[in-house]
Amino acid sequence: MARALSLFWRQPFLALVVRRKPMLCKMSTDSHARKVFAAAVEAVQPNSVVRQSIERNGDSVIIDGHKFTLKRNLHLVGFGKAVLGMAAEAERLLGDHLVKGIVSVPHGIQQTLQQHGKDHLLLKENCGIKVMEGAKHNLPDADAQKAAEEIKHLASELTEKDILLVLISGGGSALLPAPIPPISLQEKLDVTRRLAAAGATIQELNTVRRALSDLKGGGLVHYAHPAQVVALILSDVVGDPLDLIASGPTVQSEVGPGEVLSVLERYKLLNSLPASVNDVLGRISQRTKGNKNEMDESEHVLNVVIGSNSIALECAGHRARELGFQPVVLSPRVCGDVRSVSRLYSLLARFACSREEPSAEIAAEILSLGPEVGVESRDLSQTMEFLDKGRTERWDATCLLAGGEPTVELTGKGLGGRNQELALRVGLEMSGLELPPNGPVFLSGGTDGQDGPTEAAGAITDAGLLMEAQAQGLDINSFLANNDSYTFFSHLSAGQHLLVPGLTCTNVMDLHMLLIPSVPTDKSQPTHQVCP
């Protein structure tokens, strides 16, 4: 075993002191997985992350260790799917010094929140913050462009005595469309759609968006100068890169024409761009060099990530510990094709559930998958060390946690998303392992509560998935070939495997969870099962 893993040992994040407890039954394991997921979502609610990031002390406020004086000089703008709840909490804390505010939020979000009893995430009447809805179907539209123009106008009127509080969450890019003239909104949208259809990553999409946008890539900061800009960010991008979240409106970006052109060329779009886009791309270098106040502007900006996948994983680990599990976080950066990701989790399950010393071949394959799934070898080695230590020392049940955003190659026209397909593939690959409560349980769920165009956020599976499907006449491979994971789980056992949390009001990507029982190394030793 030592030959397959790195020789150093550093206790993984959230590993706990060993305590021996009896094993859980299948029903409680499933419910515990749901409770841990719920705790992760609760930890990154828009109002709570704002409340935890702002310390009010009389006529001053401390954010991320920086103190700002309030003198009826506070202005607020925001854009994103979770921004309404963020703005409601900011107004509650700082409203007595708020002069004016504008937030760009998804079409219909206010009515949706009211219908779901989420009134605490709504702004009060006459609070001084204007709510503008737009971006139907998460696509830039005329309503979102109008909101962007009003936000730009508000920022342009600020002075050195003012503070601009900027609230940003996932979906902010579509809600802040301000193409550089002469590009029209439709022309910019067409370029973005074609890139997405060709398989461009979110990073590549944002690279092009920034180059064609007036407010993204630090543009908002440029218009707000010389005011103090403070941005509170709820991240929905792997690794929390500030320049990519909502395309970085508060982060100075030096996107060269070569970088943008290489993305367009990679997806064979370079020779079919509108004349307006070619015109703007030809002026990128001059635009960047012409910003004489760039250095001065950056000194008046504070960007703070107040909600992220890492924070959700940390709180999920605390909840897992309360439920009697030993939590360990693998990584918040899991990405890559869902096939590779599912292989990783199924191998980790086999590794952890082995009654004998896991083979060096399994460990080697786990390490080899690292580059494909965005996880460093160091993190994989330390996680295997932890799992092996728990196996040999007969720890209690373990909760392996990870997060990120895998991708799915669409080959069919079915319903579902990456989380349901990941759960389906992991369940299939775990075939042959013991069933709960003696075997592992896997959960994959989107923290935004919606996995693809379905009501589900994800699904929960175990090693009995294949047998369960066969007994009910369901052919897993045919559903996978059609990317129809939602239909599969809806038919399987009346949808009991689906994860349906409802409206979550937040988004910090996906949460992956592998619940591993205590595995006795001595086969003659009986296993005790209880339902707490």
pLDDT in tens, 148-202: 999 999 999 999 999 999 999 999 988 999 999 999 999 998 998 899 889 888 7
* Residue 390: DSSP 8-state: H
Cβ neighbours of 347 (radius 10 Å): 20
Residues 457 and 448 sit within 8 Å (Cβ to Cβ):
yes
What SS3 class is residue 8? coil
Residues 187 and 277 sit within 8 Å (Cβ to Cβ):
yes
What SS3 class is residue 317? helix
Task: State the burial class of residue 402 (Cβ atoms within 10 Å of its Cβ: 0-12, 13-18, 19+).
Answer: buried
101 phi, psi to nearest 5 deg: -150, 150
Cβ neighbours of 325 (radius 10 Å): 28
What's the pLDDT score for residue 294? 56
Residues 426 and 455 sit within 8 Å (Cβ to Cβ):
no
| Residue 81 CB contacts under 8 Å (≥ 6 apart), including other chains | 105, 106, 109, 169, 170, 171, 448, 507
Distance (Å, rounded) from C-alpha 426 to C-alpha 431?
Answer: 9
Distance (Å, rounded) from C-alpha 471 to C-alpha 469?
Answer: 5
92 phi, psi to nearest 5 deg: -65, -40
* Residue 286: DSSP 8-state: H
Distance (Å, rounded) from C-alpha 410 to C-alpha 380?
Answer: 28
What's the pLDDT score for residue 508? 97
Tokens linked to 414: 């079915």
Query: Tens digits of per-residue pLDDT, 100-145?
Result: 999 999 999 999 999 999 999 999 988 999 999 999 988 889 999 9
Cβ neighbours of 43 (radius 10 Å): 22
Residue ranges in the chain modelled with pLDDT below 70: 1-27, 254-255, 284-297, 520-532
What is the three-state SS of 149-175? HHHHHHHHCCCCCCEEEEEECCCCCCC
What's the pLDDT score for residue 28? 82
* Residue 25: DSSP 8-state: P
468 phi, psi to nearest 5 deg: -65, -40
What's the pLDDT score for residue 11? 41
Cβ neighbours of 177 (radius 10 Å): 32
65 phi, psi to nearest 5 deg: 80, 0
Residues 346 and 463 sit within 8 Å (Cβ to Cβ):
no
